[in-house]
Amino acid sequence: MKSDGEIMEILEAFDSTGSYRAAAEMVGCSHHTVKAHVDARNQGRPVGTPVRRDRTTDEFMDKITELVTRSGGKIRADKVHQRLIKLGYQGSERSTRRAVAEAKQIQERAGRRVHRPWVAEPGLWLQYDYGDGPVIDGAKTVLFIAWLAFSRFRIVIALRDKTLASVFMALDRTFRLIGAIPTYVLTDNEKTVTTMHIAGVPVRNRDTVSFAKYYGTTVLTCQPADPASKGGVERSVQIAKADLVPTATNLLAEYASFAELEIACQEFMEGVNAKEHRVTKRRPIDLIGQELEVMHPVPDRAHTIAFGLSRKVPVNTPMVAFESGQYSVPHALMGCEVFVRVHGVADGEQIIIVAAGSDGIREIARHGRARPGSPEICDEHFPTDATRKVPGVYAIQARNRDEEAFLDIGHGAHEWLREAAAAGVPRMRVKMVEAVALSRLHGREDVDEALGTAAAYGRFATGDVASLLAHRVSNQGIRSAGEDASLAQGTAGWQAISIRPVTGTADGSVA
């Protein structure tokens, strides 16, 4: 094929000579090439474009298009070729493949969906969807992702399941994190929202209708099997999974606990909402203010339709009673209201406890089924060991000046008090006063060491501490020389004798 410059030279040569052959000799090509380009120019066709020739498949093209359309563009070219042969087709299979490929392209272009840009209004639309979260403690988690259409503000909440109560809990928390409620909430046709379809019309879940009415919003669903109708949140799910779920591409470490995943979700939200969006060229955290102006406020109390039965946590123990069993909750919730429900059956039955916080309803505990008299307790729900009341372990605390003076001596005084009290030593207060008097004469460090020794060896009689103290003081005056400063002659001389050479005399005696 000639380049554009070569074609211009051919046409210029023909205009100069007026002869096909003469122009061909000037530019060095065939006179047929010159004639083809001149005819294309005279006929008003684009110069240099190939001319379509008649094909053997042209008279069978209607049949090929029919077969491709009936199969939805999935029929194979060899099957089309077999049918065309029965109809008298004499061309090659290669020509059939080209014709089928062309028919499939035409059908695809005809049925291709055209997307019109969606101009969202502030405060009108909130979309939400789910993504597969990481596996924690052998259980797969769920990522709840919500997306405001106007500001592109994203919310990511970690869930343990997609039950109705968990979805309502996530929506309530989403509204509170945003600070207001939009007019519409759009999602998939999950069973938590749509129970069935009748003649293409979705039938809403009654609990979802009650939930939406309480918050003053309308829950809508997209077309079945049509994720493009909520493409914004679909893309948000992909981004969240890429950043939060450990894979070989992001080299994230596994999460040790569910709390770590929640912290990661919070950090992700702060980062993505503070970053300039590529479409709006503004940060979502800056645009959300325009949406808050037209949204309506969130009710102070969360809707509890699916959260379970209400229970009041006692003010002195973080335990709640439910169906003849007791279950622990974080000790910070003592005196507060929580909601308890059952999830699962048989061996997979779990008791789920949720509570309301400043950012909405959150799951606070999940236990197995407890038997009567055997409560389900999580050690993390209780204070540290330093504040627990354990039989036999008593916190030492002075109640008067004499006790305070004795305990100020040091750690040895504390040990002496514990051991002496456990042994039932008589006249303990008198002996404590004597120890205080000794500390004033000999210093606290020496008396503290003597008290510690007495506690270790069980010497609690009157005068034992003074005796140990006197023994320690008397030992301080004894001095002993070391091996390097000894005045002893040692055995060096004897060693020299042992190594003296032995010689004999004339009479045979040893010299």
In contact, 295 and 123? CB cutoff 8 Å: yes
- Beta strands at 139-148 and 125-136: parallel, antiparallel or unpaired: antiparallel
CA 361, CA 157: separation in Å to the nearest integer?
12
**DSSP-based helix, strand, coil % in the chain, nearest 5:** 45, 15, 40
What b/e string do you get for 455-488 counting C-beta neighbours within 10 Å, with b at 16 or more? beeebbeeebbbebbeeeeeeeeeeeeeeeeeee
Q: What pLDDT score was predicted for residue 151?
A: 93
CA 442 to chain centre: 62
Q: What pLDDT score was predicted for residue 152?
A: 93
CA 38, CA 47: separation in Å to the nearest integer?
8
Of all residues in the chain, the percent with pLDDT exceeding 90 is 46
pLDDT of 99 higher than 70: yes
User: What amino acid is encoded at 300 in this protein?
Assistant: D
In terms of domains, do 350 and 463 share one? Answer: no
In terms of domains, do 105 and 135 share one? Answer: no
Task: For residue 230, give Cα distances in angstroms to 188, 481, 504.
Answer: 9, 92, 118
**Using one digit for the tens of pLDDT, what is the confidence trace for 163-193?**
888 999 999 999 999 999 999 999 988 888 9
pLDDT of 100 higher than 60: yes
In terms of domains, do 318 and 428 share one? Answer: no
**Using one digit for the tens of pLDDT, what is the confidence trace for 34-52?**
998 888 888 877 766 666 6
Residue 367 lies in a domain: yes
Residue 391 lies in a domain: no
pLDDT of 128 higher than 90: yes
In terms of domains, do 381 and 457 share one? Answer: no
**Using one digit for the tens of pLDDT, what is the confidence trace for 273-321?**
999 998 889 999 999 999 999 999 999 888 888 788 889 999 999 999 9
**Using one digit for the tens of pLDDT, what is the confidence trace for 200-237?**
888 999 999 999 999 999 999 887 777 667 778 888 99
In terms of domains, do 321 and 375 share one? Answer: yes
Residue with tokens 């335990």: 319
- 414: its two tokens: 């504390």
Q: What pLDDT score was predicted for residue 442?
A: 85
pLDDT of 502 higher than 60: no
**Using one digit for the tens of pLDDT, what is the confidence trace for 449-496?**
999 999 999 899 988 888 888 887 666 555 555 556 555 555 665 555
CA 277, CA 286: separation in Å to the nearest integer?
11
In terms of domains, do 419 and 338 share one? Answer: no
- 312: its two tokens: 């009041």
Residue 321 lies in a domain: yes
Residue 220 lies in a domain: yes
**Mean of the pLDDT values across residues 311-338?**
92
Task: State the pTM of this model.
Answer: 0.61
Residue 502 lies in a domain: no
Q: What pLDDT score was predicted for residue 510?
A: 46
Q: Identify the domain containing residue 15 by its residue range.
A: 4-42
Residue 509 lies in a domain: no
The H or E element that residue 366 is part of is: strand 360-368
Query: What is the tally of structural domains in the chain?
Result: 5
